[in-house]
């Protein structure tokens, strides 16, 4: 009889330990942490580089801070170069997006539009960028841009279609408009009316953050 009581007590202890282990696993599973630091590259133009702002106030740096505040072990590299067109971004892709990158945010095309360049050329360059990222199995978020109304209805239609078309073609995530909620708002833009202020960058990051979190969830472990 004592032996049976001992066995019963042992089983109860095992059940309790199992319950504790499951509770701990569930607690850790609810967090966005991963086994190692995820490397994210933000490939873009002056909107990414942070023209007119201190380096720690540029989009990649503010995004990294926001992600870390939510528990992500992540490094966001600033691969933005002021004045770059989509073709310029493609030309420096190999050294801007190093081997082993886990995720990529592509923010290019604004300068193509401002210079009135053929949307077909910008689309072709962006397509090559997405193809390279896909070939390297880098999770990618395509940040869209919109043409200014003064470019004309035909140009606007052709340019604005670039991003959803490419997202569908390559099966990548699309953030429709990088400057959503910031463009044309004088309170959130510098005197040139084109580049966001510190507050403007904060708003961009707040808006795009859910899309970046979804991107990280699909990044390779």
Is position 137 annotated as part of the catalytic site?
no
Same domain, 106 and 52: yes
The whole-number pLDDT of residue 23 equals 46
Going by pLDDT thresholds of 50, 70 and 90, the confidence category of residue 176 is: very high
Same domain, 153 and 125: yes
Q: Is 1 a residue whose pLDDT tops 50?
A: no
pLDDT one-digit tens code per residue, 106-142: 999 999 999 999 999 999 999 999 999 999 999 999 9
Same domain, 203 and 146: yes
Catalytic: which of 46, 84, 112, 160? 46
The whole-number pLDDT of residue 218 equals 82
Same domain, 107 and 26: no
In 3D, which of 55, 72, 165 has the Cα closest to residue 120? 165
Alpha helices for 45-152 (secondary structure H)? 46-49, 59-69, 86-91, 93-96, 110-114, 119-135
Q: How many domains does the chain have?
A: 2
Look up the CATH number of the domain holding residue 50: 3.40.50.1110
Same domain, 20 and 94: no
Whether this model's pTM surpasses 0.95: no
Q: Which domain holds residue 36?
A: 32-217
Q: Is 221 a residue whose pLDDT tops 90?
A: no
Same domain, 24 and 126: no
Same domain, 84 and 4: no
Same domain, 154 and 177: yes
What is the CB neighbour count within 10 angstroms for residue 212?
23
Same domain, 24 and 39: no
Same domain, 89 and 178: yes
pLDDT one-digit tens code per residue, 55-87: 999 999 999 999 999 999 999 999 999 999 999
Mean pLDDT value across residues 29-41 = 72
Among the residue ranges 30-39, 63-72, 85-94, 192-201, the one predicted with the least confidence is 30-39
Going by pLDDT thresholds of 50, 70 and 90, the confidence category of residue 219 is: confident
Same domain, 24 and 78: no
Same domain, 1 and 48: no
pLDDT one-digit tens code per residue, 137-169: 999 999 999 999 999 999 999 999 999 999 999
How far is residue 179's CA from residue 46's CA, in Å, rounded to a whole number?
Answer: 13
pLDDT one-digit tens code per residue, 8-26: 454 444 445 444 444 444 4
Is position 46 annotated as part of the catalytic site?
yes
How far is residue 204's CA from residue 81's CA, in Å, rounded to a whole number?
Answer: 18
The whole-number pLDDT of residue 220 equals 62
How far is residue 219's CA from residue 221's CA, in Å, rounded to a whole number?
Answer: 6
The whole-angstrom distance between residue 58's C-alpha and the CA centroid of its chain comes to 14
Catalytic: which of 180, 185, 192, 217? 192
Is position 192 annotated as part of the catalytic site?
yes
């Amino acid at each position: 009889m004592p032996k049976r009581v001992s066995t019963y007590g042992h089983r109860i202890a095992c059940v309790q330990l199992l319950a504790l282990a499951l509770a701990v696993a569930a607690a850790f599973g609810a967090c966005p942490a991963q086994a190692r630091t995820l490397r994210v590259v933000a490939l873009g133009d002056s909107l990414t580089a942070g023209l007119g702002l201190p380096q720690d106030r540029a989009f990649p740096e503010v995004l990294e801070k926001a992600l870390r505040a939510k528990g992500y072990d992540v490094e966001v590299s600033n691969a933005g170069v002021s004045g770059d067109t989509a073709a310029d971004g493609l030309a420096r892709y190999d050294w801007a997006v190093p081997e082993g990158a886990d995720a990529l945010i592509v923010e290019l095309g604004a300068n193509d539009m401002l210079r009135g360049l053929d949307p077909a050329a910008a689309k072709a360059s962006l397509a090559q960028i997405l193809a390279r990222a896909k070939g390297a199995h880098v999770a990618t978020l395509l940040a869209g841009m919109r043409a200014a109304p003064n470019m004309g209805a035909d140009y606007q239609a052709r340019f604005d279609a670039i991003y959803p078309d490419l997202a569908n073609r390559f099966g990548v995530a699309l953030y429709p408009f990088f400057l959503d909620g910031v463009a044309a708002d004088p309170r959130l833009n510098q005197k040139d009316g084109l580049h966001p202020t510190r507050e403007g960058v904060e708003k961009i990051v707040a808006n795009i953050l859910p899309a970046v979190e979804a991107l990280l969830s699909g990044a390779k472990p």
